[in-house]
Amino acid sequence: MPALACVDAAATPPPGYAFARHPSSLLAPEAFSGGAPPAANAASPIFDSVSCRWSTELSAELYKIDGWGTPYFSINASGNISVRPHGSETLPHQEIDLMKVVKKASGGKSAGGLGLQLPLIVRFPEVLRNRLHSLQAAFDSAIKSYGYDSHYQGVYPVKCNQDRFLVEDIVEFGSPFSFGLEAGSKPELLLAMNSLTKGSPEALLICNGYKDEEYVSLALTARRLDLKTVIVLEQEEELDTVVEVSRALGIRPVIGLRAKLRTKHSGHFGSTSGEKGKFGLNTMQILSVARKLEKMDMLDCLQLLHFHIGSQIPSTALLADGVGEAAQIYCELSRLGANMQVIDVGGGLGIDYDGSRSGGSDMSVGYSLDEYAAAVVRSIMKACDRKYVRHPVICSESGRALVSHHSILVFEAVSSAPSDYAPHNLELAHLMEELGDECRTHYRNLMAAAVHGDWDTFSASADKLKRQCIEMFKDGSLNLEHLAAVDGVCELVAKSMGVSDPVRTYHINLSVFKSVPDFWAIGQLFPVLPIHHLDRRPAVNGVLSDLTCDSDGKMDTFIGGKSSLPLHEIGGGGGYYLGMFLGGAYQEALGGLHNLFGGPSVVRVSQIDGPHSFAVTRAVPGPSCADVLRAMQHEPELMFEALKRRAEDCAAAGGDALACGLARAFHSMPYLVCAGGEAHVDVADCVLVANSDDDDSAPSRYGSTDGLSSMLSSACSDEEWDLFTA
């Protein structure tokens, strides 16, 4: 029986394919020399427009840089991401080429680089300064515009990113505005106390979080050190602890209350607001605290009202509603005799992750800094004027908005896997002939549907063919070549019909769990894109798969709701670098050690007037294998000694070389050494101290390496290492 007897004689083969005619075999698709037509489901109209010449402007539109990146990020004439450290006030010669920073950080020392291994966090302190000044300017402008009779005095919640140098920068940059800090735990309180000793004496130290006697004692000690400390009650019972400890120490406290508002927004970040929120006191508890303080002749200690609607407040309408409710509570506390001075509107000032400026999702907000500040000032002023209450100092805890833009996570794509399988057409006919009768029937139906362009019938027949073949494979009646031939035929025909999935998997030298934990945990999206080649047309759509042995270790959803990311082909030497932007808040603190992948290397880059417009003022290598092992209670020095003895016993002639390799493995970062990277790490170079005015004696922010340095130097010489690697 002819193989395609069921097909209309006038039918034509799918575009790009012909059918091999052989009297005794099933038909196999044979590709024309021109190849298959382009897939029909490319990422976007820009990506599809092959007729136009590509430009950096098209890349900016494709990746929405002008939406989420303004005014700090753009694309320069070389097709690289350009950082504008002073925002809209950045002059052309002050722009920093991100690719040049990466080459400086990761380049070999013999070529003038720092020899750091990727992944890499690049911090821009001038961006941080600009964010802080912009926030202050927005409130100053609103206060002046409305005739508000007080001032704005913000604090940075250190939980967003506790990095020492970032916190110190904020204290320094905010000192002219008496900008303070907020802490939510004892270690955060300690670092805040230490940092504020170098800041403005008027800066506030807000103490949030659950409290025990030790926490309260530490907060009161801060008051003894002349820091303007406010202990915010999260629970009613904390009042008893504050009163008891303050009497024992002889230090009169300044107390704040966190109000549990009725106002609530519906997004993920609104779960900490509303009547069922995790934190705060309801109206009955607020009245109870005020009456207790009055009975103890301590009502004058109550000076601050704090509330938090939730992070990423989507609109100024919701913001004004919540601030208005809180301002009424503030006025009522003032009426009851409390010495109210400050209203702390908490966090919630959002950023535009996807560039849409929309209030309809957690990925964007529908307002600017100026509009946010105006809504806050207007709502407080309206409530206070109605009740004839003096305008309070306005405080906010706008951590996300302050620090998200200042750092960029840079990582490398090390390889890509094509999505389609290309079988050898000459073998297909023979392999398909050996299938059973039922499978051949499904195959004929599949091919007939392809000829007629009937995708639904094709899909159903392909599914039946694959299911039948896998059952035969499980029974042992089909071998691997047959199974691969069936998959290959289905893929080839689907591709010829223009419905094949063109998405490739790009393998990235990164741990999503460590560096982008919010993507995995709550589905938070961040702008991700290549940091170079942006003057070239992207060639493929891709998803990103990390190094961890976990199926969740991937990025397959991107801003704009896209399920793939336009990418360039990997090749041509020099590596392919991607950047994740707007991740300066929370990601470093929340990241875990899945598969014992530690944090990235870090560089601090300042803008200078010079030929390259930047200087690396601090460089810290990422934690080594020894560091992450130590974090899990292992003892790398003892581990090395045990392995060294085993090497000596197992390879008497080459034991020293093996020990040398082991020692260097302990010193290396857990991530891959990619093309163009340093082949190994010199122990003497493991610590980079770039700040000449820093008096730190610690060799590394991740722990001492003295023991490992000595074990490496005793294990092998450079000549032995060269022999070992050869």
Q: Looking at the annotation, which residues are catalytic? A: 549
Instruction: List phi, psi (to 5°) of 309.
Output: -75, -30
Up-side HSE of residue 440: CA atoms within 13 Å toward CB?
Answer: 18
Up-side HSE of residue 22: CA atoms within 13 Å toward CB?
Answer: 14
SS3 17: strand
Q: How many CB atoms are closer than 10 A to CB 88?
A: 10
Task: Say whether the peptide bond before residue 71 is cis (omega within 30 degrees of 0).
Answer: yes
User: What is the 3-state secondary structure of 212-279?
Assistant: CHHHHHHHHHHHHCCCEEEEEECCCCHHHHHHHHHHHHCCCCCEEEEECCCCCCCCHHHHHCCCCCCC
Q: How many CB atoms are closer than 10 A to CB 79?
A: 18
**Strand 155-157 versus strand 180-183 pairing type:** parallel
From the list 457, 460, 466, 458, the residue with the least C-alpha distance to 439 is: 466
Q: Which residues, including other chains, have CB under 8 Å from residue 365's CB and lie 6 or more apart?
A: 312, 313, 314, 315, 350, 351, 352, 357, 358, 359
Task: Say whether the peptide bond before residue 621 is cis (omega within 30 degrees of 0).
Answer: no
Up-side HSE of residue 550: CA atoms within 13 Å toward CB?
Answer: 17
Q: 519: part of which helix (H) or strand (E)?
A: helix 517-522
Q: Which residues, including other chains, have CB under 8 Å from residue 185's CB and lie 6 or more apart?
A: 209, 215
DSSP annotation of 152: B
As to burial, measured by CB atoms within 10 angstroms (0-12 exposed, 13-18 middle, 19+ buried), residue 92 is exposed
Q: 580: part of which helix (H) or strand (E)?
A: strand 576-580
Here the tokens at position 625 are 């294998």
Here the tokens at position 77 are 């004439």
Chain position carrying tokens 């070549």: 481
Residue 202 and residue 226 in contact, taking contact as beta carbons nearer than 8 Å? no
Cα(59)–Cα(550) distance, integer angstroms: 32
Residue 119 and residue 409 in contact, taking contact as beta carbons nearer than 8 Å? yes
Helix axes 480-496, 437-452, angle to 10 degrees: 10
SS3 673: coil
Chain position carrying tokens 């794509």: 413
Here the tokens at position 227 are 């820091």
Cα(660)–Cα(721) distance, integer angstroms: 6
User: What is the 3-state secondary structure of 408-469?
Assistant: EEEEEEEEEECCCCCCCHHHHHHHHHCCCHHHHHHHHHHHHHHHHCCHHHHHHHHHHHHHHH
